[in-house]
Amino acid sequence: MKKVFSNPLALIGFIIIASILVLAFTAPLIAPYDPDAIDVKAILLSPTSHHWMGTDGLGRDVFSRMLYGARISLMVGFVAVGIATAIGIVLGAIAGFYRGWVDTVIMRIVDVMLSIPTFFLILAVIAFLTPSIWNIMIVIGLTSWMGVTRLVRAEFLSLRNREFVLAAQTLGARDVRLIFTHLLPNSLTPIIVSSILGIASAVLVESGLSFLGLGVQAPQASWGNILTDGKEYIQFAWWLSLFPGLAILITVLGYNLLGDGLRDAFNPRSSQH
C-alpha cells in the first residue's frame, strides 16, 4: 500500500474511486430530490443553487439522478467483473494445471470468443433478452472472461513446476489443494489488476448499452440513459450531456490509474522509491 500511495497517479485513482463509491452508497442521504420525481415547472433548467446540475426534459433533478446512476453503473461493473473473473479463474486454472488436450480445448474456445467483437456479441445477446440490469450484468460477465483465463493459465504454467509445488505434490497433496492452496494465491497479482481494469470496461459497456436503449430502462437512472435523454436537447441543454459524460470519463480514468498503480506496486522489479 505504501508503494501504491507513493505513486501520485495511483493515489489520484484511489481518491477518485473512493469518492465515487462514497457518493453512490450515500445517494439516498445526500440526494436533494427524488431522482424519479417529475416537475413540469422545472423542465430543462440550467444549473442553479437549487439544481446543481440542472434538470432534464421531465423536470427531474440531474444531480440526484447522477448519484443514483453511480450506484447502477458501479454495481454493473463489480457484478459483471465478478462473474467474468470467477469463470476465468476456473477455466484458466484447469487449462494451466492439467495442460495437454484439456488446455488445447479451453484455449481454442478462448480464441473463438476473442475473434468475435465483444460489444457486438453483447448487442446480439441483449437483442434476444428483455433489457434489464441483471441481464446486462450477466451478459457482460459471460462475454468478458477470456482475458482472465489467459492470465491465470500463464501464471499456472509458470508456477506448475516450481519447487514448492513439486514438494507439496510429493507429500501427497491432491490437485484441488495444489490449485487453491499453492498455485492460485501466487497468481492473484494479475487477477486483481485485470479485475480493476475490467470494472472500467464494464462501466463503459453498460453506459454504451444504456445510451442505445438496450441497457438500464427508464425511469431507473444510469449515466448512459441520462446521456440518451441529453442528446435530444444537446443544442441548448448542454448539462444533460456534459455531467454524465464527465462522470463516465473520470470513473474509467480512476480505475485505470488505480490498476496501473497496483500493477507497478505488485511488480517486484519496479522501483522501490
- Evaluate whether residue 135 is within a structural domain: yes
- Evaluate whether residue 101 is within a structural domain: yes
pLDDT reading at 99 higher than 60:
yes
Domain of residue 192 covers 76-250
- Evaluate whether residue 200 is within a structural domain: yes
Query: Residue 269's pLDDT is what?
Result: 57
Lowest mean pLDDT segment, chosen from 1-5, 62-66, 157-161: 1-5
- Evaluate whether residue 93 is within a structural domain: yes
- Evaluate whether residue 264 is within a structural domain: no
- What share of residues in the chain are helix, strand, coil (percent, to 5)? 70, 0, 25
Q: What is the CATH number of the domain that holds 90?
A: 1.10.3720.10
Query: Residue 273's pLDDT is what?
Result: 42
pTM for the model stands at 0.85
Q: Which cell goes with 267?
A: 511488480
What's the CA gap between 19 and 127, in Å, rounded?
34
Cα-based distances in Å from 254 to 1, 205, 251: 17, 16, 5
- Evaluate whether residue 141 is within a structural domain: yes
**What integer is the mean pLDDT of 106-124?**
86
Beta-bridged to residue 61, according to DSSP, are 55
The CA dihedral of 74, 91, 155, 257, to the nearest 10 degrees, is -10
**What integer is the mean pLDDT of 150-162?**
88
Q: Which cell goes with 171?
A: 507429500
Phi, psi of 11 (to 5 degrees): -65, -40
Query: Residue 187's pLDDT is what?
Result: 85
- Evaluate whether residue 263 is within a structural domain: no
Categorize the per-residue pLDDT at 117 as very low, low, confident or very high, splitting at 50, 70 and 90: confident
Total number of domains in the chain: 1
- Evaluate whether residue 91 is within a structural domain: yes
